[in-house]
Structure 1
């Protein structure tokens, strides 16, 4: 089992401006761009100097027996909720919006995204549908001449090799001989924990052109960071577009775990007018001291002079690898090998940093995918003299030892999970975690033990789509696909409250006015019903960020 620790190396240093010589980036997959019909189903009566908004004739999610309601929003918060026919005193100036019987509920949150990688995803070659190394080679040969990928470095993402028969053919030599030896090529496995490079790609970024050309974990992270460098203006434009896509799906808030100097980047975006999402910024070891020197802790506002949408989020550690790269650290070796995966951090380092971050006022977000990594993290955190702050999470919690789940409740930890991973990685799970499927993405076991869950996407590893995430959580399958351990499905109420921005089924007086307006009651939907929900509008702090 100690082989899991072979990936541990020293952490890199950071400068005062937040630059880093070694900085891992998150994960990669498909960015969904849903185009809405240009048909408005919301009618409104506008006034030019509105100071409050009254939503009328609304069905409220969670109160289906109450009939139609009215909701008054003032100064970005819910002032009151009343029956539609109840007479209530209104402000002198009020905008009235008739929802015509549509459903109003708390908006959606995505608890785990990587903003830069997600924004870059549309500019990289997607390989998730390909079923062989030869298929990948053919797709990359086509992309060599595609003007869409006009940067010198050609980057492919989201390789899923769970059902490849020729997996051993994916290496540096074949990339050189079958694709190109003159243009740098970098192909990432699903999860961004490993990358295959051709020889010129390796040498361009200071690596030796030898062996398989496959870099994993710490060896891959500096390269991931270098390949992700894009001019600030270009990146901010991409992120603005990505955020608007999220808003069109009812999302008003994200936890951004991009491994970069998020404070600097998001402060700049806020100053330049970003106003689409609430953003909770992940802080990593490389930038922890910078954040502390600035006096920050979890919950502090970064854009004090703006809309106050940008906050400091959790302290994040990536303790092990990923299933897609077969680097998730497990109690059992990967089939037909003596390889248990990789721990990026020792238990001693996990204990040191979780305690240090907690003492400085940071909630924790601890990446643990394999069951051995989860064992190390849960037991290490339980041995600390002070418990983690409320809202701290195990990120992913993909493979668990079921009798260790009570440690979550003992420590008050949240399981931050990405349901769509279980269908995206179904074949990979069956191949590399055989006989353990019932412990993979064990949502019902967590729910039955009273563990709070927060759903996310890990976008761009999986699509940022909370409706698909909920549908998968209650069905354990993609539409028309095969299931994975159906006994671990949760009920729709659990899926809904794990996805809402307020963590509840419904809104109440005093809440931030962060709403989603939809065409049906999600609590009455099966998986197909959730997938077919149409978002009619998204409201952030009382103002529209999306309106169909």
Structure 2
């Protein structure tokens, strides 16, 4: 009897163990889940435990296999891997929240009005700082002069960044504090002259630092609060990871401190701004990697921007007797790229003009060994000479592009480049054909931070109003699957994170986003209006729309 009883007990516990559901932290079911795995599989449900995906499949299957502390009925809504922004500026965006936002201003008088409103609201401000102006939106698209600021702000220094952050509009008080009272040569920059031959108040690229270095720095507490406010905006549009494109040593130290204190939640792949001091320091210290902050890449700046005519071109601008300029000499780029190629650091270089892109591609190719493993990037890759596209394939260089740049610049890009050269600008499909992947970003705050705006620009090649009809250079539009991969798994690959994130697969970090409509099937006209319902990082909801 005892033997029979023992067998019965064993059988009971064996049966119970086989039928009892496994415990997990979260189940999401009744959804349309785009896993963005290699087969682009679509499933109905997923399970999360300890911050990682443990299973996915049909709702019936997942609910049968698991018990969860929290369950979410997605009510048929679409789910995607957490969105990446593969090129952004977190600190600039945070700073702009407390500055004068000049995006969309149509005239200098409108700039003055916004500055006066700010000064009235902040009468104790020692400086007036703003950003976002674009002279290409004005009836007279020439640069303004300091005289238009001096009349209203004679004693308060003013520093206003152009929308691309490659030019600044300043007043006489700011120039006085910087002791800039005449024209002189600035390597990689330009002080624009007025009609009398004096500084006009417009500083291009490296000349901006003549004044910006005198702007008081923010206190630590103020900076953290700004970053949190910026983070709230980013989480609200489904971003779970950003690539911070070029930070100072001080900013990197702040980030390390804030993440160690668990004060920030969004994941950050931070690039080191490539000046000799920071490069040498980080070459000694090596990579920094925590759960949500990674520092393992160097950001170099080859040239300026097309809108301010600082992009370095092979031939003259169509609308000005200049070819733009490099921010450093070819010899200096050669030296630093050679030095970095001998390390394990990734290098990501800002290159807009076709001359800058050629220089950097050739230098990468000259020094990189086993380049497919190094994953070096060109940031923007905006204008490419026809014979240089193949170098992205030949040298295994990742194109990191921002689709909304195409739909923002298309109104005036032909004036800068001419029709023939324009054909090889914003050529995302051609770049994709060469490398096989694209890392997609926004360059916020230069462009809006919503990744669906970039998705819309990539697939429809039109602005928010649907202009131009039929799309801008549609031969370089991406498919929806390509665009989604570019803001998830391909972006993760460009950061060496494809085994951790970028798709919804077993063992990967449970970063995902639930939207209120499906970007894979919604009409083009509806894409920008789609809302994020929930943003989840490591299995924890960091944003939920109420």
TM-score range, shorter chain: 0.7 to 0.9
- The reply on whether 1:311 has 2:300 as its aligned counterpart is no
- In structure 1, how many angstroms separate the alpha carbons of the residues matched to 2:380 and 2:143? 30
Q: Distance in 2 between matches of 1:260 and 1:253?
A: 20
Per-residue deviation, 1:156: 3.0
The CA distance in 2 between the partners of 1:69 and 1:506, in whole Å, is 15
CA contact (8 A) 2:27 2:72 kept: yes
1:489 corresponds, among 453, 474, 477, to 477
Which residue is 1:353 aligned to?
Answer: 336
Unpaired runs of at least 5, structure 2: 1-22, 183-197
Gap change, CA 1:365 and 1:526, over 3 Å in 2: farther
**Structure 1 SS opposite 2:135:** coil
Q: Which residue of 1 aligns with 2:408?
A: 424
| Cα pair 1:472 1:527 within 8 Å, conserved | no
Deviation by residue 1:308-340 (Cα, 9 ceiling, x = unmatched): 211114211011011122111111212353211
Partner of 1:104: 79
Q: Deviations over 1:348-378 (max 9, x none)?
A: 2223222322322111110001111111111
Tell me the secondary structure at the aligned position of residue 57 of structure 2: strand
Secondary structure of 1:85 counterpart: helix
Taking the aligned partners of 2:210 and 2:347, their CA distance within structure 1 comes to 24
With over 3 angstroms needed to count, the CA separation of the structure-2 counterparts of 1:399 and 1:67, relative to structure 1, is closer
Specify the SS of the correspondent of 1:183. Answer: coil
- Structure 2 distance, partners of 1:131, 1:181, is 23
Give the aligned partner of residue 117 of structure 1: 92
**2:204 matched to 1:216?**
yes
Whether 2:226 is the aligned partner of 1:238: answer yes
1:170 aligns with 2:144: yes
Structure with the bigger percentage of helix:
2
SS in 2 for 1:182: coil
Instruction: Name the structure 1 match of 2:6.
Output: none
Give the 5 Å matches for 1:292-307: 292-294=283-285, 296-297=286-287, 300-301=288-289, 303=290
Helix, strand or coil for the counterpart of 1:266? Answer: helix
Q: Is the 8 A contact 2:302 2:351 kept in 1?
A: yes
Contact map agreement 2:34 2:40 (CA 8 A) in 1: no
Q: Do residues 269 (structure 1) and 258 (structure 2) align?
A: yes
The structure with higher relative contact order (CA 8 Å, sep 6+) is 1
The 1-side partners of 2:40 and 2:135 are apart by: 49
Counterpart of 2:25? Answer: 52
In the other structure, the counterpart of 2:304 is: 321
Q: CA deviation at 1:391?
A: 3.1
User: Partners of 2:280 and 2:333 in 1: how far apart?
Assistant: 17
- Size of the aligned set, in residue pairs, is 489
1:282 to 265, 271, 279: 271
**Kept in 1: contact 2:46–2:55 (CA 8 A):** yes
**Whole-Å Cα distance in 2 between the matches of residues 213 and 372 of structure 1?**
28
Contact 2:135 2:142 in 1 (8 A): no
Deviations 1:232-279 (A, max 9, x none): 110111001111211111111011124311431111111332242111
- 1:457 maps to what in 2? 442
- Give the Cα–Cα distance (whole angstroms) in 2 for the partners of residues 444 and 385 of structure 1: 25
- What residue in structure 2 maps to residue 161 of structure 1? 135
Supply the distance in 1 between the matched residues of 2:233 and 2:381 (Cα, whole angstroms).
27
Question: Cα deviations across residues 32-55 of structure 1 (Å, max 9, x unaligned)?
Answer: xxxxxxxxxxxxxxxxxx852222
Relative to 1, partners in 2 of residues 1:96 and 1:136: Cα closer, same or farther, differing over 3 Å? closer
TM-score by length of 1: 0.83
Q: Is the 8 A contact 1:68 1:101 kept in 2?
A: no
Partner of 1:343: 326
Corresponding residue number in structure 2 for 1:396: 380
Residue aligned with 2:483, SS: helix
CA distance in structure 2 between the partners assigned to 1:433 and 1:387 by the alignment:
35
Question: Corresponding residue for 2:313?
Answer: 330
User: Tell me, what secondary structure is at the counterpart of 1:482?
Assistant: coil
Please give the secondary structure, in 1, of the residue aligned with 2:379.
strand
Task: Supply the distance in 1 between the matched residues of 2:41 and 2:482 (Cα, whole angstroms).
Answer: 21
Structure whose alpha-carbon radius of gyration is higher:
2
Structure 1 unpaired stretches of 5+ = 1-49
1:541 Cα deviation from its structure 2 partner: 1.0
The SS at the match of 2:159 is: strand
How far is 1:422 from its partner? 1.9
148-157 vs 389-398, which deviates more?
Answer: 148-157
Aligned residue runs from structure 1 range 82-161, under 5 A: 82-86=57-61, 90=65, 94-140=69-115, 142-143=116-117, 145-147=119-121, 151-161=125-135
SS of 2:30's partner is: strand
> Partner residue of 1:380?
363
Instruction: Single out whichever of 124-133 and 185-194 deviates more from structure 2.
Output: 124-133
Distance verdict in 2 for CA 1:158–1:326, change over 3 Å:
same
Contact 1:61 1:522 in 2 (8 A): no
Query: Does the 8 Å contact 1:415/1:451 carry over to 2?
Result: no
CA distance in 1, matches of 2:408, 2:97: 19
Match of 1:513?
Answer: 510
